[in-house]
Structures are given as C-alpha cells and as structure tokens.
Chains A and B, each alone.
Chain A
C-alpha cells in the first residue's frame, strides 16, 4: 500500500489534515497500478514497467507541452492494447490547436518548430554570426529590427519543415531537398541582398548594385517619397528614401548635434551595403567632401523601410509564406533586394546562388563559418551530422576513387598529405566537401575561382560513393542515403527520451524500417516512436536494458513551452530575441536553465539531464515570478490567458495539481498531492504576514516545482 504511506506524510505536513481534504473523488491510495493483462503473445511486463499515469503525461507533454486529461489516461489504462490506444491519442494530440497562437498553429507544430531549428542547426546564432556573408559589414545594426531579422533567419527552415512535412504531406527528405522555403519579406530581402553582394574567397567584394547603378546617389530624408519611385531607376527620385529619423530635430540630428553630417536629407556614396543599411533605418559611416567622417547611425523603428507600418511594411517580419527560390533563366534578372513592394507580393525569388535544403540557408552558414584553411570542411561535416546523423571521423571504410595524381578528387595535399595522421579523415572529407566548395566561396557567396569551381569532387561517405555535379545533386544523395531514416529516428528519440535509442534495438530497427517504408512520413515516425515502449517504458526494450531509463529535467524548451501553453503566456521565458520580457527575472534565469544544444562536430545533441542546485533554484525563481503573474492579477494587468483568484483557493489548487503538475484525478498520486498542496495553502495562510494571495502563490510554486512539472517522465 505505497500510497497510504504518502497520505500519512501529507497529513503530517498539513498538521493533521486528512488525506481526503480538498480531494475530489479519487481512487484509493492503495490501488497499485495494474497494467493491462497481456495477450497470449505479449511479452511479460518488465519488472519496472512505467505507469501509464507517467508515460501518457510524458508523451503528451513532450509532444504538445500540455497535461493529459483523465479520460485520456484512463483510456490507456483500460485498453486491451495500450500502445494502440496511445497511438490514437498521439494522432489526436498532433492536431490540438493552440488558441493563443496568432498564426493558428497547433501545440505540436510549435514544439516541432523548435525541434527542427535545433535538428537542422539553424539556431544558436546572433547578428554577428552573419559577418562573413555580409563582409565587411553587418547584417543589420538597427536594434529595432535586428532581432526580428535574426529570428526570421533562424525560424525559416524550421517553418518550412513544419509547413511542408509536419502539417503537410511531404516526406522528411525535404529537409535536404527543399527549394521552397517559408520566408518573410524581410528574409527575402536578405536573401536577395546576399545574392548581389558577392564576396570571393579572398574577401574581395563585387557589388552588383553598384555595378548596375554606379552614378546613383543614395539619399535618406524626411521628404515623403513614394517607395515606388525610390526603386524606379527611371524616376528622378531613384534611391531617394523617406527616413523620418534624419528630420531636423530627429534622433539622427540629436545624435550628431550641430554638424556637417546632420543634414536633411543625408546623402551617401552608393553601395549595396549602404543601401542594405538604409533599408533597415541605418546610415552607414561615410566621408563628406571635406573629408570629415560622419559616424554610423543605427536607426530606429521609425526610420526603417523594412518592417515600418507607415511605409507599408507592418508585416514584413511576420508575413510567412512559401517562397520558391530558383536560379534565373537565360537573360532573366535576379530579384532586386530593395524593391520591397515587389517582394511583399512575391512567392518566387530568382537568385543566382543556389539554395537547397537546410544546409545552404544563411542561418546554417552563419552557424558554421569557414575560411581558406578550413575550406568548407566544417560546413560539410555539419551537413552530414544534420542530414545523416554521422560525421567524418576516420573510421569510415568507404574509399574514394583515386583520381588524377593518385589522390582522391578534391584532396588538399597541403593540408593533409598522404601518410599524415590527418589523411584518414581528409581522404573522405575533402572530396565530399568539394561540391560545396565549388559552389560557394569561403564567405558563402558564388564561387568564382574557376579552378575551385571546376573541382566537383566526389561524395564518399558511409558506403555511398556518388558524383554530384551541383548542390541539388548533393541533396539527392543525402536524401537517398541509407543513414537518413535512422538518423532522423534517432534525433526524435533523443528529443523524446533525452538519450539515444540503441541502434541495435529491434524495436528501434522496426521503427526505422517503418519510417523508411512510409516514404519518410514524419507523422508516422512521431506516432510510432511516441507510442513505442522506447518512449513509454511500458514494456521492456533492449534500449532500456542496455542504457537504462532516463527521467530528465524538463529542459528550457520543454519547461518554458509547458508554462506558455498551459497558462496562456506568449513566450514567458523570452526565448525569442524579439520578445519583450514580461518578467526580466524569468528571462535572465531561463537563460541559465539546462538547454538542448548542438556543438561543432558533435553527432548527438547536448542534453543536460540531471538537476542541479541551479536548476532547483532557477525553477523556483521562475515559478515564483510566474505565480505573481497568474494569481490575483487585475484584469487590466494580465499577461496570461489563465489566472486564478485567491477567493477560490480550492479550485485554484485543483488546477495547480492538474494543469501545472500535470496529474489527472485518477492518478493515485493526485489525491495526496492535492492534499499536500491544500495543506500548504492553509499553513502558509497561517504564517505571520502572509496573505491569501501569497499563500496561493506559494502553493502554485510548490506545484510548479513538483517532480512531474520539472522532470520528463515522472
């Protein structure tokens, strides 16, 4: 009777309160969990089968961030085939709409958005990481817009995957073969700018805009100029832009004070980079005819062209849509990055530079800068990790075909001469990276070195040898690689279980086979893996036998998503760079919570699983701050959809147990937990100086720090 013992403990804390105090109808505490009777062919349950009260909550939490309902758990508890019933539940959970999502997304899609940002290595970047691609400038210096632009770049590919694969019907191989991407107008502008700002291997810049319009004068002033004229080369107002920041008495003039620089309008020598700055409200540093230097002006929200509501750009950072990126037909012009009006209505972007899959996005390139020495090797290795879950490590027996000079094609003998310790890796990495090196410069622009461009190399990796002639061919090689299915099943396993599945586990092999034979249906994989004993622990698996079960802390992405979705916050942890924190304390502390991450040359994600004193303290601080935001909050000060009143503590505490701690009423733990929380409320209220509000807030914190709230799998 294990739970009777718990009842006694609860009563002690409550100062004698009974177990049933405040508890709704709940099963007897001494009712042990009884797994469904196994069928004739079912294996015997393992000695430590996980209760459906735990694993149903785990699956729904990881998948959607939400707690289960009593009916959902009971449907599994009472099912003849619990796994099949869980499959049905998972399929339903994948369609649960988030009523707080401005874009009408499902909880599942929102979780997958973060998953795919990590899995395709589009996150962990800031504006400075784009330095190579915009060399020698910066991608955006305006504090009012740069966070949005980086967020757009970070989210673009994950949104593509969610739109096409998670919510759509495309196979997961699209992660490497996609040629259409979810983009905003701002992101289209960035892609188009990068296309015309050509930085070669030697860091020399060819400015397509300057070449096209060498005599243009770049002017920013307070005078109202229709943007249709600003971008029309035949208009006398070509390259004259409206920028309210430079008006007399405006912030630009205030920054400079009386100065030759603070004129209205400001005129600058024309370059593509200066125009890029101007589109985001900045005025690049420039030299006047008298040789005095005007400093850089970073701009404000009022001065930007991109994302400025008054200039028709209210949705420039949020007008997500699928955009097909293609190379120009003979004689066809490429996209003009400064023609924002055209970009706002476009669904096709004509660019010289090929873009395909996750591994050629500006965000991926920002993550993995290369250089003349590295020569695209890190890019290639990270591409292999992202696509195939494997890296060049010197142990792969796949041999390149020896080419001219008796060396693998593309091998850099100066960097890794045969016979050196480096050769084992370089004999594969160098030929395989060649197709990227022949396509992109070390600054991720068009490769214009004819010798390098001509060396297409050879893809030789883990049993596959191929000769891609373009990055599109390379994408096809990756999509058809035998490692693809297992790699993505493994990524999902690590996401669900905070540890890898044993690749030799028959259950894992079944799931991988099913995934491959489903034409790489992501939904099928999710349903299969999330209902599998690999995730639930409902029955024995080889993975559990070999690796043990992991009950991990709820890392930042999971914890913050649960708080957002369950309580109706919009990014309470301020994980997005564009979020204005509702609580600076939460934002700062959340920055130190254990977080999923990926590292250079690391096949497995970094997953801190164990609680530390910082995690314990951090979640407590966050829970306290959240408590202040959801309890006894005046209606005009609410920042969450769900709030509670200390006027009805019983209802609130029941919600805490179910919504925050995630326990359903039929869970044997529910009654004792409710009793303990209720007792805590009563005891808190009795403390000197305590109020009903603080007592209920403290009760919320206890629920928020309960094991089922701060770990995955309790």
Chain B
C-alpha cells in the first residue's frame, strides 16, 4: 500500500520557496529544508533514555493482591485475617524468579501463556521477569477522580505536570522524537486524559491513529507539498497583525504541520493490523508510534479487574488478571498479565528491549484483608498499590512491602522503604506517604534525568537508589 505521506516525501524536499517558508514560519530556511534536522537537534547525551509505554487506569486495580510481595503474609497478624486472594486456582501462590530471587505470585505472573497460549515464549518471559520490578506504594487516595493527581504524584510535581509528561519533556530531546507531548491512546474516559504543560492532550484511540496517519494515498497527495507552501503563506497572513494569543496559535499550527510531515513513512504499515481500540491494538499503536519516534511516552490502559465492587468472589479479578475476558479470546479482550506479556513479546520481537521501558501506575489498589478485600466486594485502598516497571534501569524484584496498616483497622498498607536498599521495613527512611513521589523520582532517575532536575521537578520524596540497577 502506498501511504499518502509517502507521496509527500517524494516531493517535499525538492520543493522550493524555502525562503518564503522561513519567513512565514520563523524557522530558519536551513532547517526547513530538512524538518527532521529541526527535530533531531543534537540531544544531550543520555544513554539511559528510554521510550516509555505507560499503563494507567482510573479504575484502580487488584495488582497489589496477586503480585510478588503479597503472598508472604502468614495468615495475618492480630489485626488482620490475612491477605485475601481469589479462590480461582490461578490466584494461588506460584513461585517465580525475578533476577534470580524467588517470589510468590499468582499463576499468570509465572506463566502468562497458560490462559492465553503463545502470548509469549517462556524464555522471553523469564527475560522480562528478570527486568521486572514490583513497587509497593501508597497512592494516598481512595478516590477515582484523583487519577490525574496520582499521575502528578499526588500533586507533588513542581510544574503541576503529570509524571508521564515530565518524563516525556526530558526524554524527547534525547530520543529525538517528533513531539514531546505524550499520547494517550488507551484512555477510556476523559478522566484518563494526560496533560502536558497544563494543556489537556486529546485522547487518540488506535483506530483514529490508523485512520489519521495511514489513510491510503488519495488524488490530492501529490499536491500536498504545494499545499504546505500555501498553508505557510496563509499562516503568515493570519499571523501578521494578530494578537499574541493568535500568533501563538498559528505558531502551534506551523509546528504541528512540521511534525506531521516528519513522521516516518516506512513504518506506517505497522498500523495496518489495527481493527479496534482494544488492548492488542493499543500495543500495536504504541510500538508503532515509538518506532516512528513520534513521542517519548504513550499511555495505554490494561484492565486488571478494575474497581468491581460487585465481584465479591473475585471472579472478574481472576479472569482479567489471567488475561481473558468473558469470551476467553485473545484480541480485544486481552487483559492483565498476558497483556503485559504481549506488549513485551512485541518489544523483544522488534529488538526494542533496550529502548523501551514499561511503567504501570493506577489510581489505587484494593483492600487486602479478607474482611475488606473479599466477600463484601473489594474496596479502594489508599494505603497500598503496586506499580510495575520493566526495563533494565531498575533492579528486578520487589521494592517496599506490605504489612498490616495501623491507620486502617483490619487492613494492609505499604510499609516504609529504605532508599539505599529498596527494601520495605518499618525503619525505612521513605514513609508510605512519600512512596509515590519517591517512585516518581526514581522513574526519572532510571531514564537518566539528573538529580538536580529531579529535585526541582518533584518536590517530595527521595530517589530509591537501591532500586536502580548498576
């Protein structure tokens, strides 16, 4: 298939009027001759920079009830009756290895291919696990609408930006991406929209990405380069005599046109298989956007059971964690651990394992004690949530931990973290209330952002140095 933008590239760089376009846009003509040069200014050296697939959900999730670190409560303390796991056999404690250390977790974490055959090979999955870290945190909120605040590390970012956006802002120059703004392709509602620099970013589902970028070449494609020149002339007309706000708007239009033209054409075929907006399509779109160097950060939404108060037997939790929906079919119903496995399988297949990191942060976890976490429908847990990272920047294993929580009678919460080791212990220097901000700082450190910048951008917490590899 010939894509519409392939036609453009055949003519764009041969087109004239560079001086005109430079006047119209304010961009030096030398750069306009090669838009990619504009976008690929020498980045500051940052070998740790990674593209990020950022999984986030305002639904909440029960990952904290079935992942490594939550199967070691020996019947609970006097305060609790033990952590409640679903009765489904797949939720039983199963050993798995994280970087050589053995942990217990629900079966899907050990063998995601059981429910979704061929989603990943055992060898690749073990390689993934050896780069996987489970972070026991407290998001400090039981409220769904606080999802944006959680992404802002509970409003501990100096710029009031969300962590994905801060990461994107600093990673874009190093990665040479077309735009710095993150792209939300999996958001299920406007509540899961990302903001960047205070501006709400649009929700762009995979099918819209495909339709927008990969429409077949039409009869007007051959006139696109000429039309771009016309647009630049129009921009100049509108900009002259305009107010500052109007000029800024036109500048943004100019930039967006340049960015649109800088998209790599050879990779658009990756979008061909997208037929819906399900998780599998999100994975396809995310990796395509990364390989096209469109953005440093793409957010997706992987269901893990969400907030299902009417799931007292934790059936839905087990189903979605294992990776199958009610239909048990791979595809639009891909969920839970196999969704992560499918993503990482694709990452490894594309040999992007050293270029792409995975991060997961949801609004809250679920309550864990049997009296509150099961039997009556699960509840929101402001005191315990498990974030996930996959990438070589972090030591595989478990950071922090979970224990009976004094502030919530009968339930569990995250424990303090020792920043030098990453181990959870009551004497740790990172209190649970600071664990979310500390996680954010550690994410920034993991992708090579310097300490002074981290300290400036996130006003609370401490980098968990013990969780960083190397």
Contacts and interface: CB of A to CB of B under 8 A. Distances in A.
A and B are partners in one complex rather than unrelated chains: yes
B211 A592 contact: yes
A54 B253 contact: no
B249 A714 contact: yes
A281 interface: no
A608 B200 contact: yes
A690 interface: yes
Interface string B188-206: 0111110000011111110
Interface in B395-453: 407-408
A705 interface: yes
Nearest to A705: B231
Contact of A611 (B210, B243, B256): B256
B237 A33 contact: no
A203 interface: yes
B234 A676 contact: yes
Contact of A124 (B189, B201, B207, B252): B189
Contacts of B2: none
A592 B226 CA distance: 26
24 contacts: A3-B241, A6-B237, A13-B229, A48-B244, A50-B246, A124-B190, A371-B309, A549-B244, A588-B207, A592-B205, A592-B208, A592-B211, A599-B190, A611-B256, A612-B202, A612-B256, A613-B260, A614-B202, A617-B212, A618-B208, A624-B220, A689-B222, A698-B220, A713-B245
A592 B212 contact: yes
Nearest to B251: A611
Contacts of B183: 614
Max chain A C-beta neighbours (<10 A), residue from B4, B17, B191, B407: B191
Contacts of B263: 613
Contacts of B255: 611
Interface in A577-593: 585, 588-589, 591-593
A649 interface: no
B381 to A, nearest CB: 12
Contact of B200 (A609, A687, A702): A609
Interface stretch (A167-175, A302-310, A561-569, A666-674): A666-674
A595 B310 contact: no
A658 interface: no
Interface stretch (B107-115, B141-149, B156-164, B353-361): B141-149
B58 A600 contact: yes
Contacts of A687: 222-223, 226
Nearest to A689: B222
Interface of B: 4, 17, 20, 23-24, 58, 142-146, 178-179, 181, 183, 189-193, 199-205, 207-213, 215, 218-220, 222-223, 226-227, 229-231, 233-238, 240-246, 248-250, 252-253, 255-257, 259-260, 263, 294, 309-310, 376-377, 379, 382, 407-408
Nearest to A613: B259
B310 A203 contact: yes
A710 B191 CA distance: 25
Contact of B191 (A422, A600, A612): A600
Contact of B237 (A9, A680, A683, A690): A9
Interface string A678-696: 0110011001011000110
Contacts of A673: 234, 237
A588 B208 contact: yes
Contacts of B252: 610-611
Given A600-B191, A668-B241, 13 more contacts: A3-B237, A3-B240, A6-B237, A9-B23, A13-B230, A372-B309, A592-B208, A599-B145, A695-B223, A698-B223, A698-B227, A707-B249, A713-B246
A421 interface: yes
Interface string A220-260: 00000000000000000000000000000000000000000
Nearest to B189: A599
Contacts of B250: 707, 714
A373 B257 CA distance: 49
Contacts of A601: 143-146, 191
Contacts of B222: 687, 689-690
A352 to B, nearest CB: 25
Nearest to B255: A611
A5 B439 CA distance: 53
A5 B237 CA distance: 8
Contacts of B241: 2-3, 32-33, 51, 668
Contacts of A457: none
A556 B267 CA distance: 28
A628 to B, nearest CB: 8
Nearest to A14: B233
A599 B187 CA distance: 11
A434 to B, nearest CB: 19
Main secondary structure of the interface of B (DSSP, over half): helix
A629 interface: no
A613 B179 contact: yes
B163 to A, nearest CB: 19
Contact of A713 (B146, B189, B191, B249): B249
Contacts of A548: 245
A618 B212 contact: yes
Contacts of A421: 382, 407
A627 B237 contact: no
A685 B407 CA distance: 75
B200 A708 contact: no
A623 B174 CA distance: 35
A373 B377 contact: yes
Given A371-B309, A549-B245, A601-B143, A613 B178 contact: yes
Interface in A593-651: 593-595, 597-602, 605-618, 620-621, 624, 627-628
A123 to B, nearest CB: 11
Given A613-B294, A694-B220, A702 B234 contact: yes
A482 to B, nearest CB: 24
A551 interface: yes
A589 B227 contact: no
Contacts of A690: 222-223
Contact of B193 (A13, A608, A705, A710): A608
A613 B293 CA distance: 13
Contacts of B146: 601
A13 B233 contact: yes
A205 interface: no
A553 to B, nearest CB: 8
A480 interface: no
B240 A6 contact: yes
Nearest to B223: A698
Nearest to A681: B230
A594 B231 CA distance: 21
A32 B256 CA distance: 29
Contacts of A124: 189-190
B377 A371 contact: yes
Contacts of A597: 189-190, 193, 203
Nearest to B229: A13
A198 interface: no
A669 B208 contact: no
A458 B117 CA distance: 55
Max chain A C-beta neighbours (<10 A), residue from B192, B236, B250, B382: B236
Given A422-B142, A588-B208, A610-B199, A706 B234 contact: yes
Nearest to A53: B241
A676 to B, nearest CB: 5
A494 B256 CA distance: 24
B226 A683 contact: yes
B282 to A, nearest CB: 13
Max chain A C-beta neighbours (<10 A), residue from B257, B294, B407: B257
Contacts of A48: 243-245
A701 interface: yes
Max chain B C-beta neighbours (<10 A), residue from A606, A710, A711: A606
A550 interface: yes
Contact of B310 (A371, A551, A609): A371
A616 B20 contact: no
Given A616-B259, A694-B219, A701-B220, A9 B191 contact: no
Contact of A616 (B200, B245, B253): B253
